[in-house]
Chains A and B, each alone.
Chain A
């Protein structure tokens, strides 16, 4: 069988540390080859070697088609037809779609000026071939949604005659519907004979699209298998290096009295008439599409956008929450959706982040008690299993999973009674994910009331004691754990959508 790209015995060291050990990897035409592993397993390094960003150590061989290389320059990689769609899209927001697609290799007229009409026509063709008929080639890229920008990136790669397309976590920032459209595009590319290297943490996607899967762990190749030969369990096992008994470790819940009662909660027209009870020791899962008002509801309860109508009762007492500070003082914690923007101050240390919401615990009223602050951080590091050099390490240097644990540590330091977690495991590798799930279960068992907002239905079904389904800014159904299944929850969502549309 022909092979588009082959790596044999490739290694890479940074400052004496081997981050990639003797890895073999190949891409065939017309296949989707999933590349999986936890953060730090060496996926990014491998991608960067393929795309010519990093040169591998001596000894390895890279073969593109029939030519052999010891190392690739990014120019040689591009000439060999290798293109990458990075996680953070590298487009110019102020330029049009067509300009972005052809940046650096735009068609010229005989006079040497840009051939705008040809450029626009070709861009149109490329986008049409990606089923993106609705995308205007003259639109500024800055005005497009993330999903559309990604299509522009893919078109850009194809305009350079890419035969190997590397997609680095392409669905990390996409809504459900967009993920489905992307899957269609990926299948289309495969039919055209493009070899796709697909990096993702999301198992369902991998099972849906991939032909083969390669797993890396700690820089070493664990194995390459046809997708039919692996199961979710075995794949996760390969990634974390141990058997995961249960994907969602949920201890027997110990559910107590109602602690929070929300009645008719409203915020403008984005949160409309939401009511629910939350009990001690319970995990309440919130399911719903992106834009269904899940996060907006959490922000309203947390006091970022105070409620415009309705009531919140805590322990049977009606309270009003007008600021995050008030919410915190009432024992409500919120682990936000956007870790980098809302959750952490990245340039500051772990200790400074952990103490941020609980500064009253590390002060004598006026001055900081720095030793106490460090103690708090050391405690959080131990309790949550944060992998770091120490409490003084800057948070921005940690992996996504460890950053999320720092956010969690920050809020646990306030000793909350109610913990609202918004997409608690988004963009986190499998190992850290199951650690966070385990912790969630343990906290609930200790009596904490947890609200978990998640786009991942398996996570909601796996962890929640009850599921609240949201749509169009309001709560449309509450389903007990026993009755909750992909069918019932999904049906509640679609049924709700239909009835809402009828209502309109």
Chain B
């Protein structure tokens, strides 16, 4: 019992992450420097924000493929609101976050009201939202944001990148909600057996609706940080980011069938992927080789953890 607890997925993953860090550090002098690590933290924030909420989505047995498109849409709208419509930037940001949340809410409504499977619903909105983004932007990019805006994506606070603080707060809040609140318990119950949860008086639809809305919000927040980091707005921003986020979540031990998963696992998965990407490129390995390795690590980790958890009661 105790050794089984020790061999939890998260523990395996943590060991693997430490191992990867040690190996990568030995391959390049530049890898294990504070500057590099903090910079990597900066780079993984956008995926991280999305992945943290994606953990909730996947625990309920769902998936959200539209987050990358929401990111692109909000980025474009940020430019439109600010430059074309002349709104003050903070208002534009606020509106962008609202639009992202609304986009997520629409996903949730399609899924809960019309009983469309999440994969199909968000595959549809993946195309829909990206199409709207491209239609609005007409392939123009927006530049010239005021200096204070770049603090979000490029600045530091107490020596740590500003967006890493944001990711930290979101992670902490998410972990507390999922692990210790009544609402978090409902998320797990819905993921394991939605019918039984509903029969127990839990409001499964409301839970899901809130989660998809939060997912849209996280994508919108990631969009604002993204724009601030790269100082420009383009409609193809965030393409494929949904797969990076899902990879981190699944690597973190969240079951794609729902019911199982933790925020800490997702964060570990995120760190491992980012470390591999960065460390391998510093060690002179081409990026296609890196992708192959990440794929292999993903499958291996899941195999390992399945090997230790064959009690058949999932």
Contact = CB atoms under 8 A, between A and B. Distances in A.
Contacts of A357: 200-201
Given A345-B196, A346-B193, A348-B189, A366 B181 contact: yes
B185 A368 contact: yes
Given A346-B313, A347-B259, A347-B313, A325 B193 contact: no
Nearest to B176: A367
A33 interface: no
A363 B185 CA distance: 11
Interface in A359-376: 359-360, 362-363, 366-368
Given A352-B185, A367-B180, A394-B313, A347 B192 contact: yes
Interface string B246-270: 0000000000000110000000000
B182 interface: yes
A368 B196 contact: no
Contact of A348 (B192, B195, B199, B201): B192
B200 A324 contact: yes
Contacts of B201: 323-325, 327-329, 357
B181 A356 contact: no
B200 A410 contact: yes
A69 B12 CA distance: 46
Contact of B199 (A324, A367, A394): A324
B313 A397 contact: yes
B203 interface: yes
Contacts of A352: 185, 188-189
A482 to B, nearest CB: 35
Contact of B195 (A342, A355, A397): A342
A346 B200 CA distance: 14
A352 B191 CA distance: 14
Interface in B269-291: none
Contacts of A347: 192, 259-260, 313-314
Given A341-B195, A345-B189, A345-B196, A396 B181 contact: no
B196 A341 contact: yes
Interface string A13-38: 00000000000000000000000000
Interface in B286-300: none
A323 B203 CA distance: 9
A359 B185 contact: yes
A288 interface: no
Nearest to B189: A345
B197 interface: yes
B198 interface: yes
Contacts of A479: none
Contacts of A325: 201-203
A64 B189 CA distance: 49
Given A328-B201, A345-B189, A367 B196 contact: no
B193 A344 contact: yes
Given A345-B192, A347-B259, A348-B192, A356 B197 contact: yes
Nearest to A336: B199
A367 B192 CA distance: 21
A216 to B, nearest CB: 25
Nearest to B313: A396
A189 B198 CA distance: 45
A434 B260 CA distance: 36
Nearest to B259: A347
B197 A345 contact: yes
Interface in A297-347: 304, 323-325, 327-329, 334, 336, 341-347
A366 B196 contact: no
A343 B193 CA distance: 10
Interface in B187-226: 188-189, 192-193, 195-203
A343 B260 CA distance: 19
Contacts of A366: 181-182
B253 to A, nearest CB: 14
Interface of B: 180-182, 184-186, 188-189, 192-193, 195-203, 259-260, 313-314
Interface of A: 304, 323-325, 327-329, 334, 336, 341-348, 352, 355-357, 359-360, 362-363, 366-368, 394, 396-397, 410
Given A329-B201, A359-B185, 13 more contacts: A324-B199, A325-B202, A334-B199, A342-B199, A344-B196, A345-B193, A347-B260, A348-B189, A359-B202, A362-B182, A363-B181, A366-B182, A397-B313
16 contacts: A324-B199, A325-B201, A336-B199, A341-B195, A342-B196, A345-B259, A346-B313, A348-B188, A348-B192, A352-B189, A356-B189, A356-B200, A359-B182, A367-B181, A368-B180, A368-B182
